[in-house]
Structure 1
């Protein structure tokens, strides 16, 4: 489990397709690699991966075909920078929100607006993801815990403070860039429960909305 508070931005050193539909990803994690052992989980741009080898500060990860299909990791190239977070430890402060590293879909940067030192990003997502976003709720973009500022029919907006723009890759995003999106696990759980209950109790999401619950 992660929090969406990125510990470092690190550089991709190599990517190699393995001939079986997967990819080997190598990232320079100097400064973090001292605490990483083979088998440990590491979030790379919001995707939970397992370290397979650590050597001279570089960490290798096997990225499976399904992960390549539903995330942006397959677009990474050597010299690209990625957001890196190590797992939350028992007793650590949960300063962001619960992030599992299980990406729900890919979003598209549709707008980048500057407001002094602050940024607003417009992220386009499909209807399935849009239905699980809540105004003022949490969302992880490329592994960064952010707050949904506004929701549109095409996607949503987030506001980026200078610190986040400086210490993550979020401040380098351009229009047309794809990003990994993970919605709040609590929202996903509630939505799934309601879907299962619809056919049993007559309770529907539309009825809850009409009663003012969502």
Structure 2
């Protein structure tokens, strides 16, 4: 389980193709992975990955082909920065919202607008490929983007937008996003359960949503 509160940025040291999968080696800021264990979970750009090797501040992850195809992990190259969060522990404060690290789909940056110290980023959503995800997106609702718990500040028929404060920009890779970049999207389980339940009840009553 993760909280969606990004703990910082890490750098990709190497990416190796292993059959249809990839082995990802990431360098983390000094000391942030103290006490980390083999088999533990770390969210990389919001994707829950399992620690395969540990060498001080360098961790290795094996990424399967389905994850590579669904997320932006497959696009990572040496030197790229990623958002990271260690798995939450019992008793930790949930400052964002509960996230699983299971990405539903990806969205593409269509606009980056700087207004004073804040940044507004718009993402285009594809009606065909992401119709399931769109059911769970609504104004002022929660969304996980590259592992960060964010509030949707505006939404349209084929786009969503978030507004980012300086602290979020400092801790994450959002300040370097450009038009065309792919970002991982996760919907939290509570939102999914609520929407699915409402749709099921309405369907049982013969009410069909447009």
What's the CA shift string for 1:151-186, capped at 9, x where partnerless? 111111100101111110011101111100112321
**Residue 140 of structure 1: aligned partner:** 144
**Residue 104 of structure 2: aligned partner:** 104
List, as ranges, runs of 4+ consecutive aligned residues in structure 1 with deviation greater than 6 Å. none
Kept in 1, the 8 Å contact 2:104–2:187? The answer is yes
Shift of 1:196: 4.7
Shift of 1:132: 1.1
**Residue 177 of structure 1: aligned partner:** 181
Q: Distance in 1 between matches of 2:158 and 2:71?
A: 20
Identify, as 1 or 2, the structure richer in helix.
1
**Are residue 160 (structure 1) and residue 164 (structure 2) matched?**
yes
What is the TM-score with the length of structure 1 in the denominator?
0.90
In structure 2, relative to structure 1, the CA distance for the partners of 1:145 and 1:205 (3 Å cut) is: farther
Q: CA RMSD in A?
A: 1.6
Q: Distance in 1 between matches of 2:177 and 2:195?
A: 30
Q: Tell me how many residue pairs correspond in the alignment.
A: 205
Query: Structure 1 stretches of 5 or more lacking a match?
Result: 210-214
Query: Structure 2 stretches of 5 or more lacking a match?
Result: none
Q: Distance in 1 between matches of 2:207 and 2:92?
A: 38
**Residue 202 of structure 1: aligned partner:** 205
What's the CA shift string for 1:120-175, capped at 9, x where partnerless? 00011123222211211111110011100111111111001011111100111011
What is the TM-score with the length of structure 2 in the denominator?
0.92
